[in-house]
Chains A and B, each alone.
Chain A
Amino acid sequence: AQKITQTQPGMFVQEKEAVTLDCTYDTSDQSYGLFWYKQPSSGEMIFLIYQGSYDEQNATEGRYSLNFQKARKSANLVISASQLGDSAMYFCAMRPPRGGRNQGGKLIFGQGTELSVKP
């Protein structure tokens, strides 16, 4: 069964430092997508970054980068130069291959990691 595991329920980081949030996934499929979302205390889900299983380069979006290690089935999120506004829940999600009942690219979410940035 496809599954996303985020082993860190909570993390602390000092402002301006980098932090890595772990995500491992379990799938036997070759084609899939990996996403990270941020959920601040206000509750909305904000898309951060995407990595396709066939992408050779690690994805980057501003201060966010995704450390994709396919053989290890890990897709860790790296946030550089942490800011106070980065304090939030972070969710890793996987999109199984499209087709059949997953035509729309439904996402499977991990349990999340709560990141607190200290001034």
Chain B
Amino acid sequence: DAGVIQSPRHEVTEMGQEVTLRCKPISGHDYLFWYRQTMMRGLELLIYFNNNVPIDDSGMPEDRFSAKMPNASFSTLKIQPSEPRDSAVYFCASRGLAGKGEQFFGPGTRLTVL
């Protein structure tokens, strides 16, 4: 079975540009999470969805960040406009109702904003 798929794996952009990160969760999983990882702040939860509906977006840093989940197999995280301090690794994770509640992570997108 395919795991969580993220694209692109690497993104380099210039300050002010729009960035869109994409995620395909594991088929059948009801929950989707977006995390950001930096050396300074560690792993932070940005937002999560249940059945395509955003449940908690309290971790979204500011209005420049937005996330959508138009269907059960696709989610996007958009940054507009991007700033150098947004440089980080962005992870998408998903989980289903079965199991112990563990989340399965994608490979991450390494974003560099120049």
Contacts of B48 in A (CB 8 A): 104, 106
What are 5 A-B pairs with beta-carbon distances under 8 A?
A: A46-B105, A95-B101, A102-B56, A103-B50, A104-B48
Q: A107-B45, A111-B42 are in contact. Are A101 and B55 (CB under 8 A)?
A: yes
Q: For the complex, what is the distance from the CA of A28 to the CA of B55, rounded to whole Å?
A: 23
Closest to A35 in B: B102
Set of chain A residues within 8 Å of B105, measured between Cβ atoms: 37, 44-46
Which residues on B are within 8 Å of A, measured CB to CB?
31, 33, 42-43, 45, 48-50, 55-56, 58, 89, 91, 93, 95, 100-108, 110
Q: Does A105 contact B (CB under 8 A)?
A: yes
The interface residues of chain B, by DSSP majority, are classed as: strand
Whose C-beta in chain B lies nearest to the C-beta of A106?
B45
Closest residue of B by beta carbon distance from A52:
B100
Give the residues in chain B near A45, CB-CB below 8 Å: 91, 93, 105, 108
Interface 1/0 per residue, A102-117 and B, CB below 8 Å: 1111111111100000
Q: For residue A98, give the distance in angstroms from its CB to the closest CB of chain B.
A: 8
A104 contacts B31, CB within 8 Å?
yes
Instruction: Compute how far the CA of A75 lies from the CA of B58 in the bound complex, rounded to whole angstroms.
Output: 27
Contact in complex: B55, A50 (CB < 8 Å): no
Within 6-62 of A, Cβ neighbours of B (below 8 Å) are at: 33, 35, 37, 42-47, 50, 52
Count chain A residues whose beta carbon lies closer than 8 angstroms to a beta carbon of B: 25
When the two chains form their complex, are residues B101 and A112 in contact, meaning their CB atoms are under 8 A apart? no
Q: Judging by beta carbons under 8 Å apart, are A43 and B89 in contact? A: yes
In this complex, what residue of B is CB-closest to A104? B31
- Give bound CA distance, A109 to B91, whole Å: 13
Q: A43-B89, A45-B93, A109-B42 are in contact. Are A104 and B55 (CB under 8 A)?
A: yes
With A103-B50, A104-B31, A105-B31 already in contact, the answer to whether A47 and B103 are too (CB < 8 A) is yes
- Which of A50, A95, A104, A107 is in CB contact (< 8 Å) with B50? A104
